[in-house]
């Protein structure tokens, strides 16, 4: 599948930011084998996750927008059994499998306040698992930080703020890398 130009530029920027955050840790980090794109919509970020070393067959998407998740499957970016058109909380409540890492790209500000969402995030990621979070404004980042530590058991291990790299879009101005305690 060929990505439209803006998605290619967006994904290139996203990959650079993740790599910068990983380099900041000074550790050998692994995102796999199983990774979940939370709010992954139509799978646009799947190529980035693959470049991080996660095999396409091991990437899942959870997103309440059923038509977007169906597009991800129809395009071949996500296998049908890894497509979950539901909220993260519903996925966890229904006994969904844990993953080794998760990504939340361009997190919605309301989710950074949502205690139930944060608890579900803490439940779905295995201990020592990695979580990549991007946001477009600092207020969302600050709220996410407080609630992720308090309710999801995450600790921030690195960041790649807007000033580190050029920005093609405003959706991923702030990137933080977290580890589940």
Please check whether residue 134 lies inside any domain of the structure: yes
Please check whether residue 135 lies inside any domain of the structure: yes
Please check whether residue 171 lies inside any domain of the structure: no
Whole-model pTM?
0.87
Please check whether residue 29 lies inside any domain of the structure: no
CATH of the domain at 12: 3.40.50.150
Please check whether residue 74 lies inside any domain of the structure: yes
Please check whether residue 55 lies inside any domain of the structure: yes
Q: Which domain holds residue 142?
A: 5-21+34-162
pLDDT of residue 3: 43
pLDDT tens per residue, range 86-135? 999 999 999 999 999 999 988 888 888 899 999 999 999 999 999 998 88
DSSP string, the chain: -PPPHHHHHHHHHHHHHHHHHHHHHTS-----S-EEEET-TTTTTHHHHHHTT--GGGEEEE-S-HHHHHHHHHTTSS-GGGEE-S-HHHHHHTTPPPEEEEEETT--HHHHH-HHHHHHHHHHEEEEEEEEEEESSHHHHHHHHHHIIIII-EEEEEEE-GGGS--SSSTTSEEEEEEE-
Please check whether residue 26 lies inside any domain of the structure: no
The number of domains in the chain is 1
pLDDT band at 81 (very low <50, low <70, confident <90, very high): very high
Please check whether residue 27 lies inside any domain of the structure: no
pLDDT band at 5 (very low <50, low <70, confident <90, very high): very low
């Amino acid at each position: 599948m060929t990505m439209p130009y803006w998605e290619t530029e967006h994904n290139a920027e996203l990959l650079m930011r993740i790599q910068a955050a990983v380099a900041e840790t000074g550790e050998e980090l692994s995102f796999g084998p199983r990774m979940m794109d939370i709010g992954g919509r139509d799978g646009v970020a799947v190529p980035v996750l693959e470049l991080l070393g996660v095999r396409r067959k091991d990437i899942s998407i959870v997103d309440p927008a059923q038509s977007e998740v169906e597009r991800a499957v129809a395009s071949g970016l996500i296998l049908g059994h890894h497509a979950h058109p539901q909220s993260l909380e519903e996925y966890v409540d229904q006994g969904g499998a844990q993953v080794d890492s998760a990504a939340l790209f361009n997190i919605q500000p309301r989710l950074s306040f949502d205690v139930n969402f944060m608890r579900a995030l803490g439940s779905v990621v295995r201990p020592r698992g990695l979580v990549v979070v991007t946001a477009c404004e600092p207020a969302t980042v600050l709220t996410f930080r407080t609630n992720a530590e308090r309710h999801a058991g995450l600790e921030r291990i690195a960041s790649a703020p807007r000033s580190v790299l050029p920005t093609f879009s405003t959706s991923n101005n702030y990137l933080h890398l977290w580890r589940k305690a």
